Structure 1
Amino acid sequence: MKQIYAFEQKEDFIKYEEIIEQFSNKLKNYQKILEEQYELKDLPKGVVWTTPELATTTFSNIQIPAYTNKDLIYISPDVTSWRKLFLQQLEGKQLPNVQHFYEHYSENEVFIILAHELTHHSDLFLDEFDDRREDGIWFEEGMCFYLPRKLLLSEEEFAEITAVEMELVNAFKDKYGNHSLEDFGSNSYVGSLSSIMFDYWRSYLAVKHLVEVRANNNVMSVFEQYRKWDQEGRIVPLLDYFEVESLFE
């Protein structure tokens, strides 16, 4: 993959040069894991490193400065901006543990976001980037967080981010939980940051439950069921097929 630097000012490149190099090297190692174990065959052409402003106003109009398409991954490596962004998710709620976590959001956690974007390119996922995705999106998004977190974070880090997102789901379920997880992304362009992220939190927790409880930590078994659902004609929504809708009631 090419490393593409999209900065308006030379000073921005200099500011991020070190962390970009660190992330690039770590991504190569994660790429090998995906290639050897999770059917990563077709890589994106490159990673576009940019500022939060350019990521969310020039290259896209979504609020989150990390996303991928068939050809490119776009991401801002600015840890301070990620901290500020994720603190907005609290919407003024008094959640001390969550606030502390995001105030100290680490470079490692930001790297997981980059790894999430690369995970989307695994051939284990059934839909292509140009497909009109209308069902089972939650599964891919949840798995794209579960895999890098499980593979790359320490047990303590993994437990911490899980606890944070469980607390956020509980805090916002009355406000944002009145739609099915099958409607993932319905607020992607018009909702608040928290309403957008609510579906990501739920998706991750649903996939974690499927892998660690239902499949006894056998992630490939979950992928086999996912493929079976597709081969049978997607007769029922994937959420019903996996019987996980009740997790968030």
Structure 2
Amino acid sequence: MRHIFSLENTEDYNDYQRLTEEFKEKLSVYQRILQTDYQLIDLPKAIVWTTPELATSVFSEVPIPAFTNKGIIYMTPELTAWKRLFIEQLEGLDYPEIKAFYEQITSNQVLAIAGHELTHHSDLFLDEFDDVREDGIWFEEGMCDYLSRKYLLAEQEFMDISNIEYKLINIFKDKYGNHSLEDFGSSSYEGSLTSIMYDYWRSGFTVRYLVEKKFDNNVWKVFEQYHKWDREGRKVTLLEYFDVANLI
């Protein structure tokens, strides 16, 4: 997998090269785990490391500076940019504990975002990522979060971010929770940053519940049931199949 820099000046290049050196090494380790245990066969063509502004205005119009398009991952490694974005999720509401958490996140959290994008390329997921997808999208998004965080974050970091996102779900449930998680899809990106992230939080929470509670920490059993749902013809939604439609 190639690492490419798309930047507008030499100063940015020097900074980004330094920032991504550690990321490259740790992502290589995670890549081997995915290849060995999670059917990562076809790697992304490249990761394009770029600025938040280029990621969200030139390469995409989505307000989140990490995404995959046509087999290429685009992402900013800037920790300060991610801190600002995560704090923006509060929409100006006064939650000092959550704000303080995001102000203190480390580069590991950014690394896990890159890991999320890499995990999308696993062949364990039923649908091609760049194709139009209509059902079960929440499962892939939530599982990408779960696996990348489990392998790339320390246990306490994993617990902390999970707890913060659960609090955010409850804070914004009345405002953004009036639709099924099955509606997670391309239309989700037409909303605000927080409305987009709300479905990511819900997806991550649901997959974590499936793995850790319903299937006793056995991620493979979760994947087995996911594939069984597909083989049986997707007669009900995946949420209904897993009996988690009313989980949150």
TM over 0.5: yes
* Counterpart mapping for 1:137-216 below 5 A: 137-185=137-185, 187-216=187-216
Number of matched residues? 248
Name the CA distance, whole Å, in 1 between partners of 2:127 and 2:69. 12
Write out per-residue CA displacement over residues 24-51 of structure 1, whole angstroms, 9 at most, x where no aligned residue. Answer: 1111010000001111000011110100
TM-score of the superposition, structure 2-length normalised? 0.97
Name the Cα RMSD after superposition: 1.0
Aligned mates of 2:120, 2:29 — CA distance in 1: 16
Measure the CA separation in 2 of the matches of 1:185 and 1:71.
Answer: 18
Q: How does 1:19-58 map to 2 (within 5 A)?
A: 19-58=19-58
List per-residue Cα deviations over 1:16-73 (Å, max 9, x = no partner). Answer: 2111111111110100000011110000111101000000000011000000134211
Moved more, 25-34 or 180-189: 180-189
8 Å CA contact 2:133, 2:185 repeated in 1: no
The equivalent residue for 1:118 is: 118
Which ranges of structure 1 fall in alignment gaps of 5 or more residues? none
CA distance in 2, matches of 1:96, 1:38: 38
Contact 1:48 1:75 in 2 (8 A): yes
Is contact 2:55-2:66 (8 Å) kept? yes
Structure-1 separation of matches of 2:86 and 2:149: 17
Q: Which residue of 2 aligns with 1:10?
A: 10
**Contact 2:120 2:129 (8 Å CA) reproduced:** no
Q: Which amino acid aligns with 2:246?
A: S
Deviation at residue 189 of structure 1 after TM alignment: 3.0
The one-letter amino acid paired with 2:166 is M
How do residues 57-68 of structure 1 correspond to structure 2 at under 5 angstroms?
Answer: 57-68=57-68
Contact 1:172 1:198 in 2 (8 A): yes
SS in 1 for 2:200: helix
1:189 and 1:246 map into 2 onto residues whose CA distance is 23
Supply the distance in 2 between the matched residues of 1:32 and 1:75 (Cα, whole angstroms): 21
Counterpart of 2:245 in structure 1: which amino acid?
E
Give yes or no for contact 2:134–2:185 (8 Å, CA) kept in 1: no
Counterpart contact for 1:62–1:188, Cα < 8 Å? no
User: Shift of the alpha carbon at 1:6?
Assistant: 0.3
Look up the match of 2:234. Answer: 234
Please list every run of 5 or more consecutive structure 2 residues that lacks an aligned counterpart in the other structure: none
Q: Please give the per-residue CA displacement for 1:123-175, whole angstroms capped at 9, x wherever unaligned.
A: 00000134320100000000000001112211111110010000000000000
Q: Is the 8 A contact 1:187 1:195 kept in 2?
A: no
Question: Deviation of residue 186 (structure 1)?
Answer: 5.6
Hey, what does 1:218 align to over in structure 2? Answer: 218
Secondary structure at the aligned position of 1:61 is classed as coil
Shift of 1:101: 1.1
Report the Cα distance in structure 1 between the residues aligned to 2:133 and 2:3, rounded to whole angstroms: 28
State the TM-score, normalizing by the size of structure 1.
0.97
Question: Residues 195, 141 of structure 1: CA spacing in aligned structure 2 closer, same or farther, 3 A cutoff?
Answer: same
